[in-house]
């Protein structure tokens, strides 16, 4: 059994995989993390390896605990990966994006795949049917767009996404909702359409925190999988066990 640790800027995720199957997942804050690690260790004593992917920071106490309990692998740009990385600046490629492309490489072999991660930022990552990662794009996420409208103007309020929004906003709040939410949908569908012109048999994966909100609102057919990054980390761990 494997433990996957995904350290974000604000939240952390713990996931347990058994034979490639996700059997446990928990999303928690930094202050709860060490207790959660100990709980997982007690509940799943068969775990032997741990993969850490971090864009945030783990406390020294937590790192020590993980190293005591498991054989730890930390994802970096030097880790073994199941795809050919043609990114021009591989040392700057985020570990989260590496994990997403790894999941695409293992789960959709010999297919041109676009992975869209709708989280704090919206990332687009493209893998060819020859298993070559070419790169993609990084754009502001939904919450970031709301915060930017509030922060960089004098009078616009700080809003959060709503389920019921319209193309034509008949108030300032609704105009902001339209600009942010319709804008994200137009952007995503536009990016997908542009890729499809060059790669007609394109497979599209949608993942990230806003997956459920966006999945049924896009025009294009997609595979929605909120656990895609965790699955990618598990694939990479399997690839890096000596």
- Pairing, β 21-29 against β 11-18: antiparallel
Query: What one-character DSSP code corresponds to residue 27?
Result: E
Angle value at C-alpha 176, between 174 and 182, nearest 5 degrees: 90
Question: 51 with 96: CB under 8 angstroms?
Answer: no
Query: What one-character DSSP code corresponds to residue 180?
Result: I
User: Which tokens in the block code for residue 3?
Assistant: 């433990």
Question: 36 with 62: CB under 8 angstroms?
Answer: no
Catalytic residues: 96
Phi/psi at 122 (5° precision):
-105, 120
| DSSP codes, 95-112 | HHHHHHHHHHHHHSTTS-
């Amino acid at each position: 059994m494997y433990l996957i640790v995904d350290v974000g800027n604000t939240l952390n995720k713990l996931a347990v995989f058994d034979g490639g199957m996700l059997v446990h997942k928990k999303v928690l804050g930094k202050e709860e993390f060490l207790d959660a690690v100990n709980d997982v260790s007690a509940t799943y004593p068969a775990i032997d390896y741990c993969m850490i992917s971090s864009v945030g920071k783990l406390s020294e106490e937590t790192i020590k605990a993980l190293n005591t309990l498991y054989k730890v692998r930390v994802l970096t740009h030097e880790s073994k990966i199941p795809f050919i990385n043609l990114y021009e600046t591989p040392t700057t490629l985020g570990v989260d994006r590496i994990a997403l492309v790894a999941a695409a490489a293992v789960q959709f072999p010999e297919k041109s795949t676009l992975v869209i991660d709708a989280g704090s930022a919206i990332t687009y990552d493209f893998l060819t049917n020859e298993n070559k990662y070419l790169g993609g794009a990084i754009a502001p996420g939904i919450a970031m767009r709301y915060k930017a409208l509030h922060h960089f103007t004098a009078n616009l309020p700080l809003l959060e996404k709503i389920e019921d929004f319209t193309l034509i906003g008949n108030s300032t709040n609704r105009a902001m909702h339209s600009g942010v939410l319709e804008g994200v949908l137009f952007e995503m569908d536009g990016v997908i359409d542009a890729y499809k012109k060059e790669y007609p048999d394109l497979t599209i994966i949608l993942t990230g925190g806003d997956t459920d909100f966006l999945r049924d609102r896009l025009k294009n057919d997609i595979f929605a999988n909120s656990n895609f990054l965790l699955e990618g980390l598990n694939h990479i761990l399997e690839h890096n066990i000596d």
